[in-house]
Each structure stands twice: as structure tokens, then as C-alpha cells.
Amino acid sequence: MAISTDKLNTLTIAEAARALRARECTVPELFEACASASLAQNTELNAFRELFSDATTDALIAAAQKQIDDAIAGGPTALEALPLMCGIPVATKDNILIDGRIAGASAKMLENYKATYDSTVAAKLRAQGAIFIGRTNMDEFALGGSTENSAYGVTKNPHDTGRVAGGTSGGSAAAVAANLTIAALGTDTGGSVRNPSSYCGVVGLKPTYGAVSRSGLIAAASSFDQAGPITKTVADAKILFNAIKGHDPLDSTTIPADFTYPVADAIQSQKKTLKIGVPRHLLEKGLDPDVAKNFEATLETLKAEGHEVIDIALPTSSYAIAAYYIINFAEVSTNLSRFDGIRYGHAARGKTLLDDYLESRTEGFGDESKRRILLGTFVLSAGYIDAYYRKALAARSQLATEYTNALAEVDVIATPTMPTPAFVIGEKSDPVSMYLEDIFTVTANLTGLPALSVPMGTVARGDKNIPAGIQFTAPKGAEDLLFTIGAAVTGETVY
């Protein structure tokens, strides 16, 4: 039975893949449903910087439909081999390169920069027949936590358009939550996939550092950055993660194909009930009471299903925000130094070469980028590198040790994803209050561990119900543990 075309955009990856194989819909119909919804709602939400609709997109759609038709004609074996992502519309964050498309990082500096090659994640999805529907709005150069730092306006939360969608992958999360796309890719530097996923009520995965190639991602903080899926379900997060993961010779930090983390290999394939560690000392200050109530209720539900909840201590987590931002500033300052008005990007011409640099960067960068460049240059300077940067690296190493030790005693670590629900646009105008929102998310980036945010109900704000998320962190390489516990929260079956 055919699915109503006005409902196709609400499908999950798994549902859409099944419908395409059963001829309940076609690839053009699925894409058109998402494109129509995007055109109708994007003016209000500002989720997309650009929607793709041209001969290149038409060719991808036609190729995917032919691939599906050929697989159906080939019988069960051919259908089994057909990638699940074939024919699925996917939105990509504006800092992920797609050959021939503008990748602007939502910054004036790269307003007209057109990618000359595919990022590895885009190449993998293209090879599997996925359809790129558009590039999504974000905080400029992935610096922020609310998409208010975009040079092209804030992305609004579909559950309450007076509130932020989160960041820096706010456009991707809003697009998935509003059913403008079947799934999306974001990047996570300090929570930038998980933060907006929590605020928008969708699922977001930050993979193990090195599980997904960074080749073709516009760099923010290279030792933290990871591309990750934003989806409607945990099952979809697993499908999309499997589609983009893997060793890449173009990224020397990716995990070798023949390497398996011992802890992950030993435990994740068999575990059905898990030991969940909770660092309650981190929940004592700054946690919204309604979010705390949802978090405790979720833990009680998990206990009723046979999972064990254990209190743990992670003392260095109290310093995680400070350590993270010092390192982030330093790496951002270094990475953004390439945008000098000479090689590519926005260029302004002054009377001297120095004027060229100053005017290009003054006009091309927004306030948050400038702030991090200045602070990063400061913490790397000769007089302060020992006092700040190297101490932050030492704290990072200690934090990694504490997490390794804790995860030898428990299977996953649970916290709320964000300490509050999505806040009102403009409410957090000072940088410190914004940075403090990242207290639970930055630790996964500091340690390189995988972390998953899944919805844990809503909290009432006026006449609106605003989503909240619970975050689980697992040992390196143990994403399957995250899918197991995430599915326990959402009530899914994940294969």
C-alpha cells in the first residue's frame, strides 16, 4: 500500500528504506515531500542555508531510484546488499564539504566558498545512494551553542520558535525535528551534535574520536571535532553512523581498520542489561529542577527494566569546562589563521599587506570567532602557555584517566545532556553563561569517548512542552552499548 505523499517526510531512515524497497513510494516522491516541507517552513525556522534543487540533485535521485529498481529486480540477495541509505534525503551542516556546493560554515568569511571535493562522509553517503537535500545553518565556524552566532540569523526551535534550536548544529537538529529531512549530519566539537539534539527532541551521536573521518570538514578544534548523525530514532543513528564510519587514509587520526578497542570488543556484543554510572556531584549546581526530575524518572525506568544504577565520582570533571575552552581557543586560533584574505575566503584590500589582513579578518569574522582567536592567541603566547594551555592539557589527561577507570566499573555514564531546556533567543547574551551550558557534553570531546543524546520527555514552559535529553557516554569503540541503552530509553528495538 502506497504511503500518503504528505507523510513521507515524517518517516525514519528504517521506515523509508523499507517503503522504497516495497515500492510504497519512490525516491523522487520521498525527496519532494522533504523539499516541500523545507520550503514551507524554512522561512520561519531558518534551518537551511541552502536547499539543493538542480540538475545535480535530479541526477542523484535518478541514480538512487535505478539502484533500488535494479536491486528489486535482482531478488532477495541483491536487496540485502542494497545500502539502507540509498534514496534517503540527508541534510548536511554548512561546514561539511560537498563537491561543487558552497560550504560557508555560516560565516561571512566563506560566504561564496565552493567546495572542490567531497568530504569523506559526503563521499561515503554519495556512494551509498543518499540524496543531499541542503546545507544547514550553524554557529559560525562551529563556535557557539545556540546557532545565534550564525552570520545569517538564528535557527529557531520547532517546538517553540521563540527559543533556540541549540548549536552549533542547530540547523541540522531543527530540520530533523521538524521533518524537513529524514536525517542529518552535524559536527560535534564540545557537544554540537548532542546539544541541539537535546533541545530539539531528537537523537544525536558523537562518535569515538577517529571513528569517522574529519577529511573535508572545516576545522574548528581539530583534536575535538567529529562528524555525527542527528536522527529521529536510535536505530537511525546506528544506520547513519555505520554508513559514515571507517578508516580513512586522508585523515591520520582515524582508527585503523584492523584495530578494535579491547573493552568494546569484550563487552558490547553480549550486554543486554547495563551498569549505569551517575556522577551525582556534577548534578548539584546549575541543573534545572524539571530536567533533574526527568533525569531521575528516566533512571528509575531503566532500573525497572533490569539496568543497574551506580553512583560514581569524576573529580576532574569540575575543571572540564575550563580545560576544554582553553584548548578550544588555542586550536581555533590556529585553525582560523588560514583565513587571511589572501588564499581564499573574504578579502578586503587596504593600503598595506597588514591592512589586507586586518580588514579581511575584521569584516569576515563575527564576534565569537574574534573572541576565541584573541583568547587562543593569548593562551599560546610565550608568557602564558605554561600557565594555561599546558595545564589544560594536563587536566585533559587526568580526566581521560578518570573516565577510563570509571568505565572499567560501569558500562556507561549517564547525565542530562544539557543542564536546561532550550532557552529563549537572546537570553544568554554573555559568553560565560553560554559556555557553562556545555558542562555535561565537553567531557566526551576531551576524552575522545563516544556519547549519545536521546530524548527523555519534555518540560513545561508556559503553554509549550520543550524537549530534554539524557546523555550516555561509553568506552572508546563501544557505540553499540550506546545504542542498546538509548533504545532502552526510547522503547525501540535496534538490530
Whether 358 is in a domain gets the answer no
Cα–Cα distance list, 40 to 131, 384, 465 (Å) = 20, 51, 23
Q: Is residue 444 part of a domain?
A: no
What is the greatest pairwise CA distance in the chain?
71
User: Using CA atoms, how far apart are residues 53 and 60, in angstroms rounded to an integer?
Assistant: 11
What is the total count of domains within the chain?
1
277 domain residue, yes or no: no
Distance CA 327, CA 272 (A): 37
Cα angle, residue 196 at apex, residues 190 and 202 outer, rounded to 5°: 125
In this structure, how many other beta carbons lie within 10 angstroms of the beta carbon of residue 222?
14
Q: C-alpha grid cell for residue 78?
A: 541483491
Which range marks the domain in which residue 146 is found? Answer: 5-244
Residue 156 in domain:
yes
**For the domain that residue 97 is a member of, what is the CATH number?**
3.90.1300.10
**What pLDDT score does 272 carry?**
77
Residue 97 lies in a domain: yes
pLDDT (tens, 9 = 90+) of the chain, 495 residues, equals 577 777 999 999 999 999 999 999 999 999 999 999 999 999 999 999 999 999 999 999 999 999 999 999 999 999 999 999 999 999 999 999 999 999 999 999 999 999 999 999 999 999 999 999 999 999 999 999 999 999 999 999 999 999 999 999 999 999 999 999 999 999 999 999 999 999 999 999 999 999 999 999 999 999 999 999 999 999 999 999 999 999 999 999 999 998 988 765 555 556 778 999 999 999 998 999 999 999 999 999 999 999 999 999 999 999 999 999 999 999 999 999 999 988 888 999 999 999 999 999 999 999 999 999 999 999 999 989 999 999 999 999 999 999 999 999 999 999 999 999 999 999 998 888 899 999 999 999 999 999 999 999 999 999 999 999 999 999 999 999 999 999 999 999 887
Asked if 456 and 469 count as a contact pair (C-beta separation under 8 A), the reply is yes
55 domain-assigned = yes
Name the amino acid, one letter, at 351: K
Q: Kindly tell me the sign of the dihedral angle through the C-alpha atoms of 54, 58, 64, 65.
A: positive
Per-residue confidence (pLDDT) for residue 260, from 0 to 100: 84
C-alpha span between 81 and 73 (Å, rounded)? 13
Specify the pLDDT at position 262.
76
What is d(CA 97, CA 217) in angstroms, rounded to the nearest whole number? 6
Residue with cell 536547499: 51
DSSP 261: -
Q: 57 is written with which cell numbers?
A: 540533485
Sorted by sequence, the CB contacts under 8 Å of residue 87 that are 6+ apart come out as: 16, 17, 20, 27, 30, 61, 64, 65, 67, 68, 129, 130, 131
Cell of 273: 542489561
Handedness of CA 325, 216, 27, 76 (dihedral sign): negative
Residue 330 counted as domain residue = no
Q: Is 12 part of any domain?
A: yes
Looking only at the bridges linking them, the beta strands covering 451-461 and 226-231 are unpaired
Grid cell, residue 178, equals: 521538524
